[in-house]
Amino acid sequence: MAAGERAAEPLAELSHYVVARPIYSEAGFQDENERRPPLPPTLRERAQAACSCSKKRAFQITKSFLPILEWLPGYRVKEWLVNDIISGVSTGLVATLQGLAYALLASVPVGYGLYSAFFPILTYFFLGTSRHISVGPFPVVSLMVGSVVLSMAPDENFIIDSSNATGANSTGTVVDTESRDAQRVLIASTLTFLVGILQVIFGVLQIGFIVRYLADPLVGGFTTAAAFQVFVSQLKIVLNVSTKNYNGVLSIIYTLIETFERIGTTNIADLIAGLLTIFICMVVKEINDRFKHKIPIPIPIEVIVTIVATGISYAADLENKYNAGIVKSIPRGFLPPEPPDVSLFSQMIAASFSIAIVAYAIAVSVGKVYATKYDYAIDGNQEFIAFGISNIFSGAFSCFVATTALSRTAVQESTGGKTQVAGIISAGIVLIAIVALGKLLEPLQKSVLAAVVIANLKGMFMQVFDVPRLWRQNKVDAMIWVFTCVASIILGLDLGLLAGLLFGLLTVVLRVQFPSWGGFGNIPGTDIYKKVKDYKNIVEPDGVKILRFSSPIFYANIDGLKSSLKSTVGFDAVKVYNKRLKALRKIQKLIKKGKLKATKNGIISEPGITNEAFETDEEPEDNEDLQVPTKEVEIQVDWNSELPVKVNIPKVPIHSLILDFGAVTFLDIVAVRSIKTIIREFERIDVRVYFASYQDNLISQLERSAFFDDIVRKDIFFLTVHDAVLYIRNQMTCSDSQDPIFEKISLMQESKEPIEFTETTRTDDELDVQEEAMRRLAS
């Protein structure tokens, strides 16, 4: 028991602490601790650091550009090779099938999907920093590529006379599919090449941070809308219903309308095959998810279904008997590399920019998940370069844009993949399909491939259930999700992404422009200050108001700072000063008329009667003495009491104002000028302004902005709010405040001419940025 008490004693001591130190203002703290201002490096020093080279630095630069040199020397052959082989084979089978399926989304012949599943892996193996992602086609990106392809090469551009096509006497028009497909492949590969160039430029310029503006709610809404777009585009293939290729605003709506208008032409064989494929794939995928700890390798259901469906289609001759849509022809082997059509760049530059960002964002997001899980780092800029070079390389071989697929990456990781060796092995499996197995898949129904795509959209559609959770946690994020999703469905993926990005940035601007603020008070007996409205035991220091403004201060929210000041102190400093000047004018007139007399004891409204509206030090001894004016007389005006003139002057119940800048990260020049104006406005009505809890960079910024002078000094800046409060208490006990308008009152008696009082106006250097800009425009 005694031992337990002894163990509890240190804990009790640690629950309290006592600190004894001086009250620190900024000036005092700098003097005592000898502040060392940071010296920026000179241009010569920067040039030397940038241009210096050593063997070690050269090797580091090489490793940063070729990350394979970082992980391959430490590859554990005995521990990792078997796992990578198993993972590579499993991923390769899935990649083969997804390559065929996603080619439908890109609006190119399905065989080119195999190329897109093979070539990008070869370069990413050397240049990529993620060890687990499976590089290749992704539904969202493939659909974005397909929208560009369809807009630039619609069927209407390839209509020919059917008699010329068949050599018969039949009349009518048909689509020249051979020319159309060749042109679409050229457009897709050119777009891929341009996307790669943009990604390399982004990586070289070190702007990988751009993906940070694609917030998780924005990406969630965008990918869900993309999943809906993919579903609609594949629905007509499952039904084998021919429709026009719509693009742009409301294209998804037009496609749905025409699909249901022609639903009577549905091919029953394709519909049954598609529905069975969707059902089987979703059931088996659910089994894989629920029993993933018991099943060592996920069941490759897509591969199994494809093999079975191909056999059934070939044995039953579904194409000839039931007019089912099949793959028909898959190129065997590789096509020679072809240069891009540079003349098309101008027509696709806008779309390529959005595709480059989306493809990069998806890959990095997935890569970071596994990098965090396995404790290694992802270099965002190097990923830009890796995917850029991969797309440039694969674009020369008639591929479409590559990124990573969530389902394929999950297969590679869950089957034991440790490094990109698994990726190279998966590329080998795709290579076998390209060289030897392509011919065997020609009887496969397209509806089966479309059904495989739809079955893989389950994860994206499940993101809809994130909206209620987001609404409970943060309504703004939920609004971003919903807005991006709806905009992407209505406007299309490219414009929808841009609209969602702008909406997200708008919410940030609004939150900064209208930040949280509040009056703070002290927890008695502590140095802790909290919002007055949030706690019952909060006590505000006598005559002191404390305002915390939780945002950077700049031209857009400076009016918010001013309005929060008025709400906190309960009055407008400018109006108070102008009202006092108005009262002084009336007092001067009464003095001139002899109805009031000013003495050292106060203002006398009638001989022998003391004006009770002002405080007096002692009773007057002789009325005659009161009538003798003297220049040295000063009168303390109690502006909070009743005055002898009919002027409604707001009460000023405080003598000090503390601005807590603990959450202020920067100030622009408009904020600096406005804050200096605020100090002057309060000083004129005898309210001192202090600053507390500011960050060090603000002091440097204020020094560069010429904020400090003889009136505004560093001794009004304090390290903490409690330092400022204690300083104010000490000052109030040592000295009495003096009204800034005393001197004019004391001179009223002798002046024969009216003393000029002018209402306050802001000078040019005190103008807000909006007012100053208007003045410049007007001049």
- Is residue 594's pLDDT more than 80? no
State the Cα–Cα distance between residues 280 and 305, nearest whole angstrom: 8
The pLDDT mean for the chain works out to 82
- Is residue 45's pLDDT more than 60? yes
- Is residue 690's pLDDT more than 90? yes
State the Cα–Cα distance between residues 623 and 644, nearest whole angstrom: 19
- Nearest to 223, CA basis, from 407, 496, 449: 496
For residue 606, the cross-strand partners are 609
Cβ–Cβ under 8 Å, residues 672 and 705? yes
- pLDDT tens-digit map of 564-593: 999 999 888 999 888 888 887 887 777 777
Mean pLDDT throughout 471-489? 93
Residue 9: pLDDT band with limits 50, 70, 90: low
Mean pLDDT throughout 675-687? 92
State the Cα–Cα distance between residues 535 and 560, nearest whole angstrom: 24
How confident is the model at residue 172, as a pLDDT? 62
Burial class from Cβ neighbours inside 10 Å (0-12, 13-18, 19+) for residue 261 reads exposed
What's the one-letter identity of residue 671?
A: A
SS3 25: strand
- Is residue 760's pLDDT more than 60? no
State the Cα–Cα distance between residues 657 and 666, nearest whole angstrom: 21
- Is residue 101's pLDDT more than 80? yes
* Euclidean distance between the first and the last CA atom of the chain, given in angstroms as a whole number: 85
Cβ–Cβ under 8 Å, residues 512 and 552? yes
- Nearest to 87, CA basis, from 419, 431, 405, 415: 415
- pLDDT tens-digit map of 454-464: 888 888 888 89
Residue 483: pLDDT band with limits 50, 70, 90: very high
Burial letters 92-126, b for 16+ CB under 10 A, else e: bbbbbbbbbbbbbbbbbbbbbbbbbbbbbbebbbb
Helical H segments across 492-606, by residue range: 493-513, 558-569, 573-592
Cβ–Cβ under 8 Å, residues 444 and 178? no
State the Cα–Cα distance between residues 81 and 43, nearest whole angstrom: 50
How confident is the model at residue 637, as a pLDDT? 58
Helical H segments across 551-622, by residue range: 558-569, 573-592
The fraction of the chain above a pLDDT of 90, given in percent, is 32
- pLDDT tens-digit map of 330-378: 878 888 899 999 999 999 999 999 899 889 988 888 888 888 888 888 8
State the Cα–Cα distance between residues 125 and 194, nearest whole angstrom: 21
How confident is the model at residue 162, as a pLDDT? 66
State the Cα–Cα distance between residues 278 and 305, nearest whole angstrom: 10
- Is residue 774's pLDDT more than 60? no
- For residue 400, the 8-state DSSP code is -
Mean pLDDT throughout 649-657? 87
Q: Does residue 294 or residue 397 have the better pLDDT?
A: 397
Mean pLDDT throughout 616-623? 37
How confident is the model at residue 548, as a pLDDT? 92
SS3 82: helix
Residue 145: pLDDT band with limits 50, 70, 90: very high
Q: Does residue 615 or residue 450 have the better pLDDT?
A: 450
Mean pLDDT throughout 205-219? 83
SS3 129: coil
Query: pTM surpassing 0.85?
Result: no
Mean pLDDT throughout 439-463? 87
- pLDDT tens-digit map of 707-757: 988 888 888 999 999 999 999 998 888 755 444 444 444 444 444 454 444
How confident is the model at residue 121, as a pLDDT? 94
Give the tokens for residue 75.
């590859």
* Cβ neighbours for 357, distance < 8 A, ≥ 6 positions apart: 210, 211, 214, 497
H or E, element range at 520: strand 517-522
H or E, element range at 660: strand 656-660
Cβ–Cβ under 8 Å, residues 644 and 603? yes
How confident is the model at residue 656, as a pLDDT? 93
State the Cα–Cα distance between residues 212 and 505, nearest whole angstrom: 12
Burial class from Cβ neighbours inside 10 Å (0-12, 13-18, 19+) for residue 671 reads buried
- Is residue 555's pLDDT more than 60? yes
Cβ–Cβ under 8 Å, residues 438 and 329? no
Give the tokens for residue 390.
């991969």
- Is residue 628's pLDDT more than 50? no
SS3 315: helix
- Is residue 168's pLDDT more than 80? no
Mean pLDDT throughout 269-292? 90
How confident is the model at residue 596, as a pLDDT? 67
